[in-house]
Amino acid sequence: MLDHGSRSQGQAGRQTWVMTWHLRGRGLAIRSASNPISWEDRQLHSQTVCFLTQPTVTEETLQMASSFAKMMSSRTTGLLMASLGAGAVATGYLLSDSAAISAEQRRKLYPPSADFPDLRKHNNCMASALTPAIYAKLRDRITPNNWTLDQCIQTGVDNPGHPFIKTVGMVAGDEESYEVFAEIFDPVIKDRHNGYDPKTMKHPTDLDASKIHSGVFDDHYVLSSRVRTGRSIRGLSLPPACSRSERREVERVTVQALAGLKGDLSGRYYSLTEMSEAEQQRLIDEHFLFDKPVSPLLTASGMARDWPDARGIWHNNEKTFLIWINEEDHTRVISMEKGGNMKRVFERFCRGLKQVETLIQERGWEFMWNEHLGYVLTCPSNLGTGLRAGVHVRLPKLSKDPRFGKILDNLRLQKRGTGGVDTAAVGDTFDISNLDRLGKSEVELVQLVIDGVNYLVECEKRLEKGQDIKIPAPIQHFKK
Amino acid sequence: MPFGNTHNQLKMNYTAEQEYPDLSKHNNHMAKVLTLEMYANLRDKQTPSGFTVDDVIQTGVDNPGHPFIMTVGCVAGDEETYEVFKELLDPIIEDRHGGYKPTDKHKTDLNPDNLQGGDDLDPNYVLSSRVRTGRSIRGFCLPPHCSRGERRGIESLSVEALGALDGDLKGKYYALKDMTEEEQQQLIDDHFLFDKPVSPLLLASGMARDWPDGRGIWHNDNKTFLVWVNEEDHLRVISMQKGGNMKEVFNRFCTGLTKIEELFKEKGHEFMWNEHLGYVLTCPSNLGTGLRGGVHVKLPNVSKHEKFGEILKRLRLQKRGTGGVDTAAVGGVFDISNADRLGFSEVELVQMVVDGVKLLVEMEKRLEAGQSIDDLMPEQK
């Protein structure tokens, strides 16, 4: 999750979380090329591919996958294809003449086994879940917008990950990606979201801020409060995949809607291409400006193409409600203010979101949403609520207590430095926010943050007085 | 594999105006040439392997360029790109390659016997000599567009061909992903190792996908003949050695290249080549010979001369720092190489380097002795 503050300061290293969701009852777009030697037939002919019939991802499958990948690198592709029993195809490959090979022919010359990525050194959710069998099944499918599996996973192939941090390793190109490639998105979503089962579970959406209680923190400790999420416009491809005109359409639709906001929400749009030097400097000083991503996790997905075309920032005159357009998602929505009034921040968040939704609906548009996935965003890690609610809070004593980490874990909270993800805390001030995104509603998550931060501040006060603190009982993941 | 969804034909539902990139702040060859009308003509076309005009120009759209340096701003995804998108690429080629016309023919000459001299550049000044080019294997997509299967196919074909070289060309292949720590350090110390590109010009084209899968370095035991596999092109071939014997370097270069080509032909493959564009490579700037022949040479005095730039221009040479393109010279040592790639043969280009460097060294000696070089000023080649 990338903190707004960190992005505007140009911090590198964004954790892309992957989650997928399985949509029921929608058709799959399967490439209609006829293949004279079916993949299934080839399987029957060769020992080398027998493991592709494994229905589940097991330890054994993973080991075979890795030895398979090793084999790929040490044998000629032609030999391998011959062993697949695809004699005619292998011959065609080896003696390909100078005539141009069509995309269809290319698919036949290079079976999925030839294209399976080498994931031996990889540590991300995609690499843990992707087997040659799944890849073979999905490689030749396309979504209605022509998006493919290879495009979904490119970022995870290009970025092996970190031994300690498990990134997600894949993105969606459109709403349909989550369904068309469900066989890979589903296990990734479970891995990333505490076992949340896309096939059987429903995600609750609740943007009724009146349900929040105890939402005002002690200003002596809590310096600022913030809630962010993302929204995608249904019918338009997501940032990794969109064409320039689709991206411009997202901008147009959103800016038009935002122009209809009134009262404390009325504000102005600043397009990245047209911004003046003075405007740019002011937005940087206020920590609002986002810049072209530098993280290879993001650039490898294709979301930074054509920068800065159709990108921009909108904010209200009071500078408490801010929208990013066409950065990693169609829109990112941020409500924030100094001090500890999280309730007011969330109230404005919900009000603003609902008004924007009404305004786009008046013109026949809607957000991508469904009852299993919640709000659909580019990175599966942001599905569900896409919500990160957090505070900048001073915890000089608690942060030095050895129990600090465990307390946060049990409260389902995470800490970051005040520069955002991958930064260290400065002084004793931490960014504390919710860990989870999917399976709990917005109200539940914000309440969880409020309760958690109140607990942390209580601990800090107790430690100040020399009193002892307790590790709280762990919070349940999902309602059973 | 297309990068981003640029091959998406559903965008034909939008008009050309809606899709046309904003090139108002751009300064590259592509931006100079691509009008809305041209874009409208080309946007519904694709090569047989599915490469579209948006794929061609993506790197140029993403990288507006530099106020002083004119980058190319487009790449080819396959051999057919240069044909299908002629309307866009021909004017770019003409602008970049000194007025080379769509009807011009390019001569290929890899006969090292045709090079005059070149074995006597003064090693007190010329520290090292080097010739490089690129080759693409016909029938495969180029690095911006190839799938993993194709890239691996290119690698295994190349490794097999190189494995059959013998004599002073005999050598070994080091796959980037299988390299040991020691091998890696050795290759770094030898200045052979190439790494994943960081330049946004290259990254935006999609050529760094799946790194380091299918990439590697081959070099002969003598460390004078080196081949890069699947970096910016299918193959980059480099011949080099210390000192000023450019003739020997070029000899080995031609012999090696010719042998490699024969070995590929034995396996039923050939290099991408035609009589108009010469050798076909990923970047239009490397068409023709794809050849950069150069030396590292000490020119502390000449380089400070007010006419240095003009001399180089007339000799059809360019200067770089010894770190390569975009680096500054250190200690008066420059990398001097041919500026042209297309419209001259390999022999002609290396001849220009040999003759030009000889002249520059003579000028350097004159200036060292406090004498004038006015009578040595060359004519425009």
Q: Does residue B315 contact residue B352 with C-beta atoms inside 8 Å?
A: yes
Q: Does residue A423 contact residue A9 with C-beta atoms inside 8 Å?
A: no
A221-230, A416-425, A456-465, B113-122: least confident range: A416-425
Q: How far apart are CA A221 and CA B22, in angstroms?
A: 48
Report the pLDDT value the prediction gives residue A479, as an integer from 0 to 100: 58
Report the pLDDT value the prediction gives residue B5, as an integer from 0 to 100: 65
B24: nearest CA partner in chain A: A273
Q: How confident is the model at residue A67 (pLDDT cuts 50, 70, 90)?
A: very low
- Residues on chain B touching A161 (C-beta within 8 angstroms): none
Does the pLDDT value for residue A80 go beyond 60?
no
Coarse DSSP helix, strand, coil percentages of chain B, rounded to the nearest 5 percent = 35, 15, 45
Report the pLDDT value the prediction gives residue A242, as an integer from 0 to 100: 95
Q: How confident is the model at residue A9 (pLDDT cuts 50, 70, 90)?
A: very low
- Residues on chain B touching A118 (C-beta within 8 angstroms): 177, 210, 213
Task: Collapse the DSSP code of B335 into the 3-class scheme (helix H, G, I; strand E, B; otherwise coil) and give the result.
Answer: strand
Mean pLDDT of all residues in B150-166: 96
Interface pTM (ipTM) of the complex?
Answer: 0.90
Does the pLDDT value for residue A45 go beyond 60?
no
Q: Characterize B189-218 residue by residue with b for buried, 16 or more Cβ atoms within 10 angstroms of its Cβ, and e for exposed.
A: eeebbbeeeeeebbbbbbbbbbbbbbbbbb
A2-11, A267-276, A467-476, B169-178: least confident range: A2-11
Does the pLDDT value for residue A35 go beyond 90?
no
Q: What pLDDT, in 10s, does the model give residues B311-335?
A: 999 999 999 887 666 667 778 899 9
Residue A155 phi, psi (nearest 5): -65, -35
Q: What pLDDT, in 10s, does the model give residues B40-98?
A: 999 999 999 899 999 999 999 999 987 667 899 999 999 999 999 999 999 999 999 99
| The dihedral formed by the CA atoms of A273, A274, A279 and A283, expressed in degrees to the nearest 10 | -30
Percent of chain A with pLDDT over 90: 68
Q: Which of B2, B18, B270 sits opposite A245 (nearest CB)?
A: B18
Does the pLDDT value for residue B227 go beyond 80?
yes
Q: What pLDDT, in 10s, does the model give residues B231-277?
A: 999 999 999 999 999 999 999 999 999 999 999 999 999 999 999 99
Helix (H) or strand (E) holding A434: strand A429-434
Which spans in chain B are helix H? 16-19, 29-33, 36-42, 53-62, 81-84, 86-96, 148-163, 181-189, 200-203, 246-266, 308-315, 346-368
- Residues on chain B touching A100 (C-beta within 8 angstroms): 47-49, 78-80
User: Domains plus CATH for chain B?
Assistant: 21-97 (1.10.135.10), 130-288 (3.30.590.10), 293-380 (no CATH)
Q: How far is B17 from chain A (nearest CA, A)?
A: 9
Contact status of A103 with chain B (Cβ, < 8 Å) = yes
Q: How far is B142 from chain A (nearest CA, A)?
A: 13
A73: nearest CA partner in chain B: B152
Closest residue by Cα to residue B360 from B310, B299, B307, B300: B299
* Total-model pTM: 0.84
A74-88, A194-208, A276-290, B115-129: least confident range: A74-88
Does the pLDDT value for residue B138 go beyond 60?
yes
Binding residues of A for ATP: 224-228, 287, 332, 388-392, 416-421
Q: Is B4 annotated as a binding residue?
A: no
Q: Is B343 annotated as a binding residue?
A: no
Q: How far apart are CA A378 and CA A363, in angstroms?
A: 24
Report the pLDDT value the prediction gives residue A79, as an integer from 0 to 100: 38
Q: How far apart are CA B381 and CA A112, in angstroms?
A: 53
| Whether B11 and A118 lie within 8 Å, measured CB to CB | no
Report the pLDDT value the prediction gives residue B189, as an integer from 0 to 100: 82
Widest pairwise Cα distance in chain A = 83
Q: How far is B6 from chain A (nearest CA, A)?
A: 7
Burial of B177 (0-12, 13-18, 19+ CB in 10 A): middle
Task: Provide CB contacts within 8 A for A227, sequence distance 6+.
Answer: A334, A335, A336, A342, A345, A346, A349, A387, A388, A389, A390, A446
Mean pLDDT of all residues in A251-271: 96
Task: Provide CB contacts within 8 A for B375, sequence distance 6+.
Answer: none
Other beta carbons within 10 Å of B346: 29
Task: Provide CB contacts within 8 A for A99, sequence distance 6+.
Answer: none
- Residues on chain A touching B20 (C-beta within 8 angstroms): 244
Residue B8 phi, psi (nearest 5): -70, 110
Q: Does residue A196 contact residue A188 with C-beta atoms inside 8 Å?
A: no
Q: How far apart are CA B28 and CA B59, in angstroms?
A: 10
Q: What pLDDT, in 10s, does the model give residues A328-363?
A: 999 999 999 999 999 999 999 999 999 999 999 999
Q: Is B153 annotated as a binding residue?
A: no
Other beta carbons within 10 Å of B25: 10
Mean pLDDT of all residues in B345-362: 97
Q: How confident is the model at residue B32 (pLDDT cuts 50, 70, 90)?
A: very high
Computed over every residue of chain B, the mean pLDDT equals 93
Q: Is B215 annotated as a binding residue?
A: no
Q: How far is A242 from chain B (nearest CA, A)?
A: 6
Does the pLDDT value for residue A177 go beyond 70?
yes
Q: Does residue A225 contact residue A337 with C-beta atoms inside 8 Å?
A: yes
Q: How far is B80 from chain A (nearest CA, A)?
A: 8
Does the pLDDT value for residue A122 go beyond 60?
yes
Q: Number of Cβ pairs closer than 8 Å across A and B?
A: 147
Binding residues of A: 224-228, 287, 332, 388-392, 416-421
Q: How far is B12 from chain A (nearest CA, A)?
A: 10
Q: How far apart are CA A12 and CA A3, in angstroms?
A: 11
- Residues on chain B touching A306 (C-beta within 8 angstroms): 21-22, 58, 61-62
| Whether A307 and B62 lie within 8 Å, measured CB to CB | yes
- Residues on chain B touching A244 (C-beta within 8 angstroms): 18-21
Structure tokens at B98: 């000194």
β-sheet bridge partners, residue A338 = A224
| Whether B156 and A95 lie within 8 Å, measured CB to CB | no
Which spans in A23-167 are helix H? 39-45, 59-74, 77-83, 87-94, 103-109, 112-115, 125-129, 132-138, 149-158
Percent of chain A with pLDDT over 70: 75
Contact status of A273 with chain B (Cβ, < 8 Å) = yes
B208: nearest CA partner in chain A: A158
In degrees, rounded to 5, the angle at the alpha carbon of residue B57 between the alpha carbons of residues B56 and B58 is 105
User: Domains plus CATH for chain A?
Assistant: 8-108 (no CATH), 112-192 (1.10.135.10), 209-464 (3.30.590.10)
Q: What pLDDT, in 10s, does the model give residues B90-136?
A: 999 999 999 999 999 999 999 999 999 999 999 999 999 999 999 99
Q: How far apart are CA B50 and CA B147, in angstroms?
A: 12
Q: How far apart are CA B297 and CA B124, in angstroms?
A: 9
Report the pLDDT value the prediction gives residue A18, as an integer from 0 to 100: 24
Report the pLDDT value the prediction gives residue A420, as an integer from 0 to 100: 59
Which spans in A300-418 are helix H? 342-362, 404-410
Residue A128 phi, psi (nearest 5): -70, -30
Mean pLDDT of all residues in A127-136: 97
Report the pLDDT value the prediction gives residue A91, as an integer from 0 to 100: 34
| Whether B138 and A77 lie within 8 Å, measured CB to CB | no
Contact status of A243 with chain B (Cβ, < 8 Å) = yes
Q: How confident is the model at residue A55 (pLDDT cuts 50, 70, 90)?
A: very low
Percent of chain B with pLDDT over 70: 96
Q: How far apart are CA A46 and CA A44, in angstroms?
A: 6
Q: Is B29 annotated as a binding residue?
A: no
Report the pLDDT value the prediction gives residue A42, as an integer from 0 to 100: 32
Mean pLDDT of all residues in A309-325: 96
In degrees, rounded to 5, the angle at the alpha carbon of residue A253 between the alpha carbons of residues A247 and A259 is 130
Other beta carbons within 10 Å of A476: 9
Closest residue by Cα to residue A311 from B130, B59, B22: B22
Task: Provide CB contacts within 8 A for A109, sequence distance 6+.
Answer: A81, A89, A92, A93, A96, A101, B149
DSSP 8-state class, residue B32:
H
